[in-house]
Amino acid sequence: MDGGVRPAAGGAAAPAPAPGPDRTAGAPPSATRVLALGGLLLAAAMLAGLLLGPAAVTARGLLATLLDAAGLAPLPAEHARDAAVLGVIRAPRVLLAAMLGAGLAAAGTVMQGLFRNPLADPALLGISAGAALAAVAAIVFGHGLFGGLFGPQAGALGLWLLPVAAFAGGLAITFALSRLGTRAGVTSVPLLLLSGVALNALCGALTGLLIFMADERQARDITFWTLGSLAGARWPQVPVALALVLLPALLLLPLARPLNALVLGESGAFHLGVDVERLKRVAVVLSAVTVAAGVAAAGLVGFVGLVVPHLVRLAFGADNRLVLPGSMLLGASLLVLADLAARWLAAPAELPVGVVTALLGAPFFLWLLRRRAGLA
């Protein structure tokens, strides 16, 4: 099966197809190495995220908090402050950052594999722009609408208005893409891409119109939200992110082998037994859910889905069986560290995490472009 010739129909000998990128016989040890390195990096990043910040937490305080939470030892009085910082603010924020980073990186890897374009990222299809449009509409119109409909209960409902609106906006763009990019039951990747570019521009124009209509307070809220932030992370958001960000990202992992076959083109992948239409539908829907939920939770956080897969490919090669899990672990680590930088560099103020990821990602991306062009 690995080489030589195979009998073709009619008894003639035909050369076996050239092995594609999915041919690595030594994948298990390499996968183990990727997972081990990525897991260690994520553990170190999360530990730094828990301990460091404007209000530093001691390692003893972290250990005492963990033992108390597990019911193994009572919390000493001298560590009460550390436990409060960790339990109320730091732990949900670090967990949310890790899940969002993993989800954005997984979606970016799948988009690059699906479009066979290293410049593709989760925002390419307009999903982020659709989520942003719905969130901006919620900021501009939501208070008056909720206040009129729900009266005294508007405050409690309003806490969920922005993320729910953003998530619904991302899913609406996904539905529109599926209708625009599909003809007679066949999804065209070029048509999907062009439709995404058009929807991206349309959502951007409508968002600009809403910003023009907003008052000063609403414009400030819109600016802060679109820059991305994890400052509002709380425990109720963690299970939601687990279900809508991390779970869809994990469901993308089985697509690694079909994406490897897709490097040969849709016809080549089909002849290798890949259901190409199902692959395109599942990849787009799961990536859209992940990105929409991520935007709903933290606003617009760029460059994670674009840069992280490139870093993993530079280190471990182009096999998506390694790139997908490696990107999830590296993306989680990167966003945890970016959030740590966001709340530490300008303390007691806080930088938007989207600004930090752009400051890290843009120079690397420019270097990568120069390297591919042979200029670096």
Residue 150 lies in a domain: yes
Give CA–CA dist 285/276, Å, rounded.
14
pLDDT greater at residue 154 or residue 249: 249
pLDDT tens track for 209-232: 999 999 888 888 888 888 899 988
Residue 211 lies in a domain: yes
Q: Which residues pair with 5 in a beta bridge?
A: 15
The pLDDT, as a whole number, for residue 28 is 46
What CATH number has the domain bearing residue 175? 1.10.3470.10
Residue 77 lies in a domain: no
Q: Say if strands 182-183 and 186-187 run parallel, antiparallel, or are unpaired.
A: antiparallel
Query: Residue 97 to residues 199, 249, 297: CA-CA distances in angstroms?
Result: 28, 14, 10
The pLDDT, as a whole number, for residue 12 is 44
Q: Give the domain range for residue 324.
A: 55-69+85-372
Give CA–CA dist 187/189, Å, rounded.
6
Decide if 297 contacts 100 (C-beta within 8 A). Answer: yes
Residue 7 lies in a domain: no
User: Rounded to two decimals, what is the model's pTM?
Assistant: 0.85
Helical packing angle, 189-213 and 216-226, nearest 10°: 150
Residue 25 lies in a domain: no
Report the domain count for the chain. 1
Residue 37 lies in a domain: no
Residue 247 lies in a domain: yes
pLDDT tens track for 82-110: 999 999 999 999 999 999 999 999 999 99
Q: What are phi and psi of 170, to 5 degrees?
A: -65, -40
How many CB atoms are located within 10 Å of the residue 231 CB?
14
- Indicate the pLDDT class of residue 375, thresholds 50, 70 and 90: low
pLDDT at 257 over 80: yes
Decide if 340 contacts 52 (C-beta within 8 A). Answer: yes
Residue 80 lies in a domain: no
pLDDT over 70, % of the chain? 86
pLDDT greater at residue 281 or residue 23: 281
pLDDT tens track for 12-35: 444 444 444 444 444 444 788 889
